[in-house]
């Protein structure tokens, strides 16, 4: 497991960018969190990496300034969750925020040790998962949850998923609930896990609690508890610097002076533009002083010759 983030105590210019790991409370949407951070830091350049449902709490990685260019990389790694699944009650959204659509009388066989062990193993082996209809997935350019609110019934296509770890932490009979710990790859829906696990147990179910405890290398330890009113915050939290954030999500490469010049001009680079052996694929490119210059990738042409190109450049401050 990767090491959780510990925030730096040194402030950085907001325009230069940085990352804030927020401990999201229950209630606000991920967009609400972004709005509060914008007000707190007085900047419009804010984005988040990996949506959390309003009911969910925990790690939400927020990028500011130039760090918004890292969002697709910040959200790419595995995530870990703690969840509570209630059995016998199904909801439209698969969580406690949704309308109850089905109930079944409590059956003690749902919590049989062997039955739970089998259901967990089925989910550990799952490679394709049907997302919830109430989700942010875009269908013909419109979020699925918006289409559901308009009264549409959607046929959500399954998506490839990977479960790294799934264990039961505790179970209770009244009401019938199972506490779970999950680690999964990007794109996994814990609400869908609750639906599918309940189905294997012969019933319906929904999540009554969901907490993300890790997103990639960004853990709940040291995450900033988001207040309801950011105007009451007298000292904004410190940010993880742009350079350190890039090093957490991408392999680093160091450029020569010529390499820095060519990268800033958006030109192709050869291997001589790197200090040491360049890495294939996407990497964070730094100058000799450790300043992030660009995200770039090393490729090969049709003849097998190596070259590198800039994917995203970063402003000089």
pLDDT in tens, 10-55: 444 555 689 999 999 999 999 999 999 999 998 899 999 988 999 9
> What was the pLDDT predicted at 9?
36
> Could you tell me which CATH number the domain at 79-215 has?
3.30.2350.10
Asked if residue 139 has pLDDT above 90, the reply is no
Q: Which of 75, 41, 307, 20 is nearest to 186 (CA)?
A: 75
In total, the chain counts a number of residues equal to: 317
Catalytic residues: 53
User: What are the CA-CA distances from residue 39 to residues 18, 46, 240, 256 (Å)?
Assistant: 16, 10, 19, 39
In this chain, the answer to whether the domains covering 79-215 and 250-313 adopt an identical fold is no
Asked if residue 120 has pLDDT above 60, the reply is yes
pLDDT tens track for 212-256: 999 999 999 989 999 989 888 988 899 999 999 999 999 999 999
Give the span between the Cα atoms of 134 and 255, in whole angstroms: 46
In this structure, of 129-143, 162-176, 288-302, the range with the lowest mean pLDDT score is: 129-143
Give the span between the Cα atoms of 94 and 114, in whole angstroms: 25
User: What are the CA-CA distances from residue 119 to residues 130, 166, 183, 197, 286 (Å)?
Assistant: 17, 11, 16, 6, 47
> Could you tell me which CATH number the domain at 250-313 has?
2.30.130.10
The domain limits of the chain are 14-77+217-245, 79-215, 250-313
Mean of the per-residue pLDDT values of the chain: 90
Tokens 């019934």, located at residue? 153
What's CA 80's distance to the chain center, in Å? 9
Question: What CATH topology corresponds to 14-77+217-245?
Answer: Pseudouridine synthase (3.30.2350)
pLDDT average, residue stretch 248-267: 96
Asked if residue 5 has pLDDT above 60, the reply is no
> What was the pLDDT predicted at 6?
43
pLDDT tens track for 72-99: 999 999 999 999 999 999 999 999 999 9
Angle ∠(254,259,262) on CA atoms, nearest 5: 140
Helices (H) and strands (E) in the chain, counts: 7, 20
Whole-model pTM: value is 0.88
């Amino acid at each position: 497991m990767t090491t959780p983030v510990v925030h730096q105590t040194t402030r950085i210019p907001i325009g230069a960018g940085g990352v804030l790991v927020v401990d999201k409370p229950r209630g606000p949407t991920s967009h609400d969190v972004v709005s509060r951070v914008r007000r707190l830091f007085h900047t419009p350049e804010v984005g988040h990496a990996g949506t959390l449902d309003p009911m969910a709490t925990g790690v939400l990685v927020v990028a500011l300034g130039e760090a918004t260019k890292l969002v697709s990389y910040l959200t790419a790694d595995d995530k870990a969750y703690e969840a509570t699944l209630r059995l016998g009650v199904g909801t439209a959204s698969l969580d406690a925020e949704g309308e109850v659509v089905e109930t079944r009388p409590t059956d003690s066989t749902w919590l049989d040790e062997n039955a739970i062990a089998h259901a967990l193993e089925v989910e550990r082996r799952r490679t394709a998962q049907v997302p919830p209809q109430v989700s942010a997935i875009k269908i013909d350019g419109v979020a699925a949850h918006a289409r559901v609110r308009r009264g549409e019934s959607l046929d959500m296509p399954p998506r490839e998923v990977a479960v790294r770890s799934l264990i039961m932490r505790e179970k209770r009979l009244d009401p019938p609930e199972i506490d779970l710990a999950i680690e999964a790859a990007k794109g996994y829906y814990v609400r869908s896990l609750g639906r599918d696990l309940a189905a294997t147990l012969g019933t319906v179910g929904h999540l009554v609690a969901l907490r993300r405890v890790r997103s990639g290398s960004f853990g709940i330890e040291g995450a900033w508890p988001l207040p309801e009113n950011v105007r009451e915050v007298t000292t904004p939290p410190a940010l993880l610097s742009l350079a350190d954030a890039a090093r957490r999500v991408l392999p680093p490469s160091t450029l020569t002076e010529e390499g820095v010049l060519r990268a800033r001009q958006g030109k192709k680079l050869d291997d001589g533009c790197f200090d040491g052996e360049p890495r294939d694929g996407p990497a964070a490119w730094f100058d000799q002083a450790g300043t992030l210059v660009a995200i770039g990738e090393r490729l090969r042409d049709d003849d097998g010759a190596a070259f590198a190109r800039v994917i995203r450049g970063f402003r000089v401050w």
